[in-house]
Amino acid sequence: MSLDVAAVKRDFPILSRKIEHNRLVYLDSAGSSQHPRQVTEAMTTYYDLHHANVHRGVYTLAEESTSMMEAARATTSRFIGGATANEIVFTKNATEAINLVAHSWGRANLAEGDAVVVTQMEHHANIVPWQMLATEKGIELRWIPVDERGHLDLTDLDRLLDGASLVAVSAMSNVLGTINPLRRIADAAHAAGALVLADACQYVPHLPTSIQELGVDFAAFSGHKMLGPTGVGVLWAREALLDAMPPFLGGGGMILDVTQDGFIPDGLPAKFEAGTPPIAETIGLAAAIDYLEALGMDAVREHEVSLTAHAMRLLTETVGEKLTIHGPTEPSERGGVLSLDLEGVHPHDISQVLDQHGVCVRPGHHCAKPLMKVLGVGATARASLYLYNDEDDVDALAAALIEARDFFSF
């Protein structure tokens, strides 16, 4: 099944906007995707007709609100092939989800001399929490390098895993678009006695996902990168791990009992959802998942591979040798994330010129400074494709890049 992108575009009101008298060409979905009207309608319906706090009241609105949020949890679990909805913990974003693992599982299980393996292509959210633990507890960080093709260099994986407790790895790079071999890494890690945490922010929105087949123990992703609202993230973890982990935050909603002498935490997943959760946002996330499932994730992936191939070919042919596209050269090995380096032109200047044509790309280090050092650049201009982009959008990107190249040529 192929995507009808013209029909998809009609579901996104923001795409009818004009920027500098040009149609909006949104190419920053790796930063935050747009959301269809079905998502905002679901959230508006909740606020208009069903709003109340969850897991507290027994009146009709409270029971409706609770039912809607728990249905969203079940929908999220189904979407990634989870075994049970209790494995889904709602957070405010993927960064919080990873910090939850670091501060709950990490503090309980890691001690001085233990090792955590990370990669050079990680987002800061999957580096800094482990660096904080290294400072606090004296754990060792080991790094899987990135080769010149934009892939992880797994030559020394067995050595890096020797004595390690955890591997923290991106399922798909937010800079290079590289799709990493999670199953291979997970199998090797488990054989060495280590667990695996996947940053799946760029993977879940773009590829059919079976968390069981990936073989990881923890996974984190965010609603705002998969057509959903901001303010909701997801931590998936194997139920036995979550059961054994201590609470991350304390307060209302996460306790079974409290006395002057102490407290007893509630069961899963309430133990990790202290306070009022992002109720409307979880409902919006479920609506986004419904939208993606209606399109079909196989169709989404097929569309993005085809569009990425077109983009890489067109940009290389038209912009010329001054343009570098970082990451794998084979579209099937990557997502639709194109980090661009135009010789002699700063990424921020590229972005400003493109904005005058209504083309939105993100300049910067993309919260991946260690990777920028490996690439030998301070920043890139990142264009990221999604299901509402088409060849006309790529053509607009190419035309604007040519103008930027010519404008800054001396």
Q: Which residues are catalytic?
A: 367
Beta bridge partners of 221: 234
| CA–CA dist 380, 351 (Å, integer) | 10
| CA–CA dist 210, 392 (Å, integer) | 32
Q: Give 325-362 as a DSSP string.
A: EES-SSGGGB-SEEEEEETTS-HHHHHHHHHTTTEE-E
**Tokens 């990142």 correspond to what residue?**
382
SS3 113: coil
| CA–CA dist 259, 263 (Å, integer) | 6
CA 258 distance to own-chain centroid: 36
Burial status of residue 55 (CB atoms within 10 A of its CB: 0-12, 13-18, 19 or more): middle
Strands (E), 56-178: 88-91, 115-119, 140-144, 164-170
CA 73 distance to own-chain centroid: 18
Contact 220, 198 (CB under 8 A): yes
